[in-house]
Amino acid sequence: MILAIDTTSAFGSLALAQGAEVVELVSVHSPEGFAQVLFQEILRLVGRQGLKLADLEGYAAASGPGSFTGVRIGLAAAKGLAEAHGRLVAPVSNLLALAAAGEGELRAPVIDARRGEVYGAVYDENLRAVVEEMVGPLDRFLERVGDRRVRYLTTSFRCFPAGGRVLTVSSALAGLVAAVAARAFAEGRALAPEQVDANYVRRSDAELAVAQAFLPV
């Protein structure tokens, strides 16, 4: 059984999965942050299935892009629990998780990155990147997509080109994270906790401020 965690937005979620089959999915809406509620929700979920944390075979976490703080909280929880119980972790890109919800040859997940920008990528039916993950204005992403016939996938973004094929996906991504992670575990691609890192795509405001401070005048 794998526990999947997504705290990358205010609409987080948890999932327990046996292989790629989700046993239970729980939405956790916490606009004030997840630090105070996450472990309680995890214990409740595991307890409802008659399990203990030590019974879990591995962990998965949405690794971003998303809220910088939210990404760190979810990854830290998965890494901490995996370290405590000698398990592996599968970090899963939010864009890849969205792509897993789609059908057809080409899937283009899009997440609102604010500041007039989006996070986007294009994956094929085997979830291999055709257009690598990027952040930038929607027009720039659409240029990267080009004339490819894609299905756009999103949880909330609405400003797609006229005639674009769009699938709106539930914001409770933990089930999709679990499904992608199950493949990673089966293929031996899960990581030791210390190897897991965030997938921010865009640098944080703090990093950008530091970089700006060292630009030549």
Q: Residue ranges per domain, the chain?
A: 2-93+171-207, 95-168
- Sequence-distant (6+) residues with CB within 8 A of 212 are none
Q: Is 147's pLDDT higher than 90?
A: yes
Three-state SS at 28: strand
pLDDT computed for residue 162 by the predictor: 75
Structure tokens at 5: 């965690």
Provide the percentage of residues in the chain whose pLDDT is more than 90: 82
Confidence of residue 159 (pLDDT cuts 50, 70, 90): confident
> Quick check: pTM over 0.85?
yes
Confidence of residue 212 (pLDDT cuts 50, 70, 90): very low
Q: Is 209's pLDDT higher than 90?
A: no
pLDDT computed for residue 163 by the predictor: 77
pLDDT computed for residue 192 by the predictor: 98
How many other C-beta atoms lie within 10 A of the C-beta of residue 131? 17
Q: Is 198's pLDDT higher than 90?
A: yes
Per-residue pLDDT, averaged over 155-169, amounts to: 88
Confidence of residue 161 (pLDDT cuts 50, 70, 90): confident
Nearest residue to 3 (alpha-carbon basis) of 50, 45, 63, 48: 45
Task: For the domain covering 95-168, report its CATH number.
Answer: 3.30.420.200
For all residues of the chain together, what is the average pLDDT? 91
Identify each DSSP E strand in the chain by its residue range: 2-6, 11-18, 21-29, 58-62, 89-92, 106-114, 117-124, 129-136, 151-154, 165-168
Confidence of residue 31 (pLDDT cuts 50, 70, 90): confident
Q: Do domains 2-93+171-207 and 95-168 have the same CATH topology?
A: yes
CATH architecture, range 2-93+171-207: 2-Layer Sandwich (3.30)
